[in-house]
Amino acid sequence: MLQHIRLPETGEKITVEDGALCVPKNPIIGYVEGDGIGPDITRASMRVWEAAVELAYRGDRKIHWCELYMGEKAGALYDGNYFPDETLEVIQDLTVAIKGPLSTPVGGGFRSLNVSLRQALDLYACIRPVRYFEGVPSPMRKPEEVDVVIFRENTEDVYSGIEFPSGSSENEKLAKFLREELDVNFELDAGLGVKPVSAARSKRLVRKAIQYAIDNQRRSVTLVHKGNIMKFTEGAFRAWGYEVAKEEFSDVTITEDEVWDKFGGGIPEGKIVIKDRIADIMFQLLQLRPSEFDVIATTNLNGDYLSDAAAAEVGGIGIAPGANIADHVAVFEATHGTAPKYSNLDKVNPSSLLLSGVMLLKYIQWTEAAELIENAYPNVIRKGRVTYDFARLMNGAEIVSTSDFASAIIDEMRS
Ligand code: NAP
């Protein structure tokens, strides 16, 4: 029995059969509008998604939305609980959901709601497509060469939160063990953290990245790591990545070394190249030679930095879409925060959430609707009808509100 969530009376649930998503013509999809600017960008984006679906399928398909609660709205409804269990249960049950940004109350021992959500549903792959839309202000000379999809491991590495503060009894115990049993040394007052990277979790992430490359006709998967220094965590991630490719995808993949050793540098028809790069040089390469990269799979902290750095090349996090995905359950999300000073002003750029919805439409294979938005989007930017954040980077642009930007995209799709 649900306390506050009301499943729509019409619409059917998305299911998983034989390992594949089964999407009805009238799927129920969950949404969390989010805090701060969340309601503004959700309202605007929903109008665009619905218009695209209507235009693409002429009434034959329709999304039935189910509002779910997290963050401040949940706190008001569920007696101060920002993270109600029933929201998690319904996301799991509906398989696909989209969410606006959530504020994490400062102090009081609150964990980030986003991190909690990823952990509770084991959404192990954080996926960030980074591509350029013509007209978007960019610091790059050739931003059109940037078209990568970053798969960042979401559950391990330094984000697993195994840390012991300097001076604590736990720290003392661990320090004693490390010194006495493992003969390692470090400063007496050092804070200590553990960086777990496992074979199973590395492999499932790389498996998903390779499968994505296959499904989307991508040319390469680059494993990004710092294995030259952290051999048994980052280096192991690299080794396990190559292992998955060899053991499970040998018919469609080839390593970069094989391309050179056996084919003189020419990539055989139909093969996806598996290569690896050390994280530091990767940051440089992604700026200087972005066209060499396609799908990227990496550990948590590298992926954290790399996703935002890559997004900056094509317009910043204001437009970067994202998703956190388990084997099937997927939560799409705006990648920026709640920007509370702009709450309810109908002012900010809805692009991050809007384009996360495009990812969602592709995930449920409603590609025609997704492409309508993707095609209309750059035309609106090119015409200079943009929100304040883009306008300040462009010459002669007309500043429009969040809702007018959405209307401009809808008009463009219909024209
Ligand atoms: P933020 O909300 O992302 O805002 C920082 C600045 O980024 C804004 O002041 C604004 O810049 C710009 N910005 C963000 N979204 C924009 C949009 N849609 N359109 C145009 N500009 C946009 O970061 P924050 O101030 O550090 O964090 C605020 C709250 O959000 C915190 O409670 C944090 O925990 C939370 N947060 C949530 C998520 C999430 O739910 N995924 C992610 C990050 C942070 P200007 O001031 O220059 O206009």
Query: What is the model's pLDDT at position 114?
Result: 85
Q: 159 an active-site residue?
A: yes
Query: What is the model's pLDDT at position 108?
Result: 56
Give 316 Cα–ligand 1 centroid separation in angstroms.
12
Q: What is the pLDDT along the chain (415 residues), one digit of tens a residue?
A: 899 999 999 999 999 999 899 999 999 999 999 999 999 999 999 999 999 999 999 999 999 999 999 999 999 999 999 999 999 999 999 999 999 999 876 655 567 888 889 989 999 999 999 999 888 888 899 999 999 999 999 999 987 889 999 999 999 999 999 999 999 999 999 999 999 999 999 999 999 999 999 999 999 999 999 999 999 999 999 999 999 999 999 999 999 999 999 999 999 999 999 999 999 999 999 999 999 999 999 999 999 999 999 999 988 877 889 999 999 999 999 989 999 999 999 999 999 999 999 999 999 999 999 999 999 999 999 999 999 998 888 888 899 999 999 999 999 999 9
**SS3 letters for 314-346?**
CCCCCCCEEEEECCCCEEEEECCCCCHHHCCCC
Query: What is the model's pLDDT at position 196?
Result: 97
Q: 215 an active-site residue?
A: no
Among the listed residues 99, 208, 226, 347, the single catalytic one is 226
Q: Exposed, middle or buried by CB within 10 Å (0-12, 13-18, 19+), for 122?
A: middle
Take residue 274 and report the two structure tokens written for it: 């598996």
Query: What is the model's pLDDT at position 16?
Result: 95
Q: Whose CA is nearest to atom 38 of ligand 1?
A: 337
How many angstroms separate the CA atoms of 42 and 379, rounded?
22
Query: What is the model's pLDDT at position 294?
Result: 97
Give 337 Cα–ligand 1 centroid separation in angstroms.
3
Neighbour count for residue 188 (Cβ, 10 Å): 10
The ligand 1 atom at the shortest distance from the C-alpha of residue 102 is 40
Query: What is the model's pLDDT at position 106?
Result: 65
Q: Whose CA is nearest to atom 24 of ligand 1?
A: 337
Q: 304 an active-site residue?
A: yes
Among the listed residues 147, 304, 308, 327, the single catalytic one is 304
- Testing ligand 1's pocket by substitution, the residue of 33, 319, 338 carrying the most ligand atoms inside 8 A of its CB is 338
The ligand 1 atom at the shortest distance from the C-alpha of residue 99 is 40
Beta bridge partners of 224: 277, 298
Give 105 Cα–ligand 1 centroid separation in angstroms.
14
Query: What is the model's pLDDT at position 109?
Result: 58
Q: 411 an active-site residue?
A: no
How many angstroms separate the CA atoms of 148 and 276, rounded?
15
Beta bridge partners of 27: 12
- Testing ligand 1's pocket by substitution, the residue of 336, 341, 388, 403 carrying the most ligand atoms inside 8 A of its CB is 336
